[in-house]
Every structure is written in structure tokens, then in C-alpha cells.
Structure 1
């Protein structure tokens, strides 16, 4: 059985406004029975505390729907924020989308 995968690609600054948009998108995707949600942050150049909160809320919503959430393509600034806040310990982050494909989709 192939998992149902949805990819979100936020851009710019992930703050309270974009974080709320991301939460709404995640809620919509979890109601469509997406098995895996990948948030590709390649176009995000900064995340503030509201953005981090949105990612935590997204992770919880996906988990409640028995899905899996992954993050990929974080830049150095976002990676540093994840490390400082220990988000890198609770979110599964891949360097690139190709790495995600090779490690997650190849095992399905």
C-alpha cells in the first residue's frame, strides 16, 4: 500500500501569520487522511517563536490523526534555531527532499 503524501512549502518568514496558515493547511490535510506530511522549508529564511509553535501544533495534529510529519531542507539559521530550542530532537528533519525520499519512501 502506498502512503498518501502531502508536501507543504512555506516561504519567507515563518511567523504568527504564516504559522496560522500552516496550521490551517495541516488541519485540512489531516482531514483528507494524508499518511505523511512533509514540510519543505527550502524557501523559509527565518522562523520566530510563533513559527516554532506552529510546527509543534502541526506535529501534534498529524500525530493525533495517526500520520507522520517530517521536515526537510532547513537553512543554517533555521537549523540553529532548531538546535537551540531542541526542536531537532522532536522533529524528524532531513537535509534535503531527496534524503527524505531515500530514507522514508524507500522503506514504504
Structure 2
């Protein structure tokens, strides 16, 4: 994703995630390093995507948010419902390693 997360891009994100779930995916990492701005419909789309993923017993994570996006998340309190990582490396260390252990266990 890049640029502005708005209604058009939010709808596209919902379609992509729904298609991936249909294909069997259940763990998602949204890398937002290229997102400069999120409007209200984009924020609603993120929440909708989270609900789609959760209803399929999946998990959704976010990484690499800008300071402006972080402030929006804090103001709207959505930082409390998303698990946010500094970058993909932190996600890999904390989550993927845990998922691999769970598969082996």
C-alpha cells in the first residue's frame, strides 16, 4: 500500500484480503511504510479488514506506520485494537517465530 488510504484503496484492500482468506491465508501483515495519510473511510476499511480476518479465525498485524498515522491511531484509539510492529523484522522476530513453534508443537 502507498499514498493515501481512502475509500477506493480501502475497498481494494478488503477485496484483496477476502481473496487471500478464500485461498487459505490466515495471518496478515499490513506494511504501511508508504502510507502517508489515512482518511476516515480508510480507517473504517482497516477496521472492516480486521473484522473480516477475525471472522475467518485469522490474525491481522500492522507494521511501519508513520508518525502521522500513529497519531491518528492514538486519537481514535484504534492503536488499542491493532497489534503494531516497528517494521517487518520485528514482526518476524516476535510473531512468525511463535507461529512456527505452534505448528511444530
The two structures have a TM-score, normalised by structure 2, of 0.92
User: Comparing both structures, which one devotes a greater share of its residues to helix?
Assistant: 2
| Structure 2: gaps spanning 5 or more residues | 100-105
Work out the number of aligned pairs and report it: 99
Query: Are residues 1:93 and 2:84 paired?
Result: yes
SS at match of 2:24: coil
Counterparts of 1:35 and 1:17, CA distance in 2: 24
Q: Hey, what does 1:49 align to over in structure 2?
A: 40
Q: In 2, Cα distance between the equivalents of 1:65 and 1:19?
A: 19
The structural deviation recorded for 1:75 is 0.4
Query: Which residue, out of 37, 40, 46, partners 2:31?
Result: 40
Q: Which runs of 5+ in 1 are unaligned?
A: 1-9
The structure with more radius of gyration: 2
How well do the aligned residues superpose, as a CA RMSD in angstroms?
0.7
- TM-score, reference length from structure 1: 0.89
1:20 aligned onto 2:11: yes
The 4+ residue runs of structure 1 with deviation greater than 3 A are none
